[in-house]
A and B are shown apart, each in its own frame.
Chain A
């Protein structure tokens, strides 16, 4: 059982380049999230999805786009990378927390460096 996986683990981009981060989960979770983590800060939500075919903006969505064409996959795109997008990106998934106790399960993270 792989849980939540992220591809790639590490990437270096030049300013203006584009890339897509892939998140995959095998737990049949409805909800998926993309967060970014910057030094000295907690995770901040970029975009999220409450089901296949749906996406919504989070706290820091500018410069990113997402797609959820399949329930198990959540893609994060950077159309024109900027140095300010240098960060560690975490994907997470969860069931709808009906009882409240369900945690989000996190992927291992993707380190992105934009030069």
Chain B
């Protein structure tokens, strides 16, 4: 079973509007972390935001926020005021606390295109 599911292969958003990228996860580990990465066309992986399973508040980093709904096992990324430079692939990833490797498990990604 997939542990990280991103159901939107591609999305469009108008410049200056907000957009939500979906991510659901599956784990029985009570301690876990959720990450979002951006991969522009140049290929590098850029860390955006982190949410811990015990965090009481949703994480925010500038224009990025994470809508964390623990009971529904979802960790959606919200980008406010989209910019042309936000066009990229976005990956949701999870790290399970009981896994001593601390490896990241990635979803298949969502390609976001910001229209001018």
Chain A interfacial positions (CB closer than 8 Å to B): 31, 33, 40-45, 48, 50, 56, 58, 88, 90, 92, 94, 96-97, 100-101, 103-106, 108-109
Question: B29-63, CB under 8 A of A: which get 1 and which 0?
Answer: 00101010100000111010010100000000000
Stretch of B12-20, B66-74, B78-86, B101-109 at the chain-chain interface: B101-109
Contact status B95-A97, CB under 8 Å: yes
Contact status A109-B104, CB under 8 Å: no
Contact status B50-A104, CB under 8 Å: no
A-B contact count (CB 8 A): 63
Contacting residues, chain A, for B44 (C-beta < 8 A): 106, 108-109
Closest A residue, CB atoms, query B102: A97
**Bound form: Cα–Cα A13–B18 in Å:** 44
The yes or no answer to B4 lying at the interface (CB within 8 A) is yes
Contacting residues, chain B, for A96 (C-beta < 8 A): 102
**Bound form: Cα–Cα A40–B106 in Å:** 12
Contact status B108-A109, CB under 8 Å: no
B28: shortest Cβ distance to chain A, in Å? 17
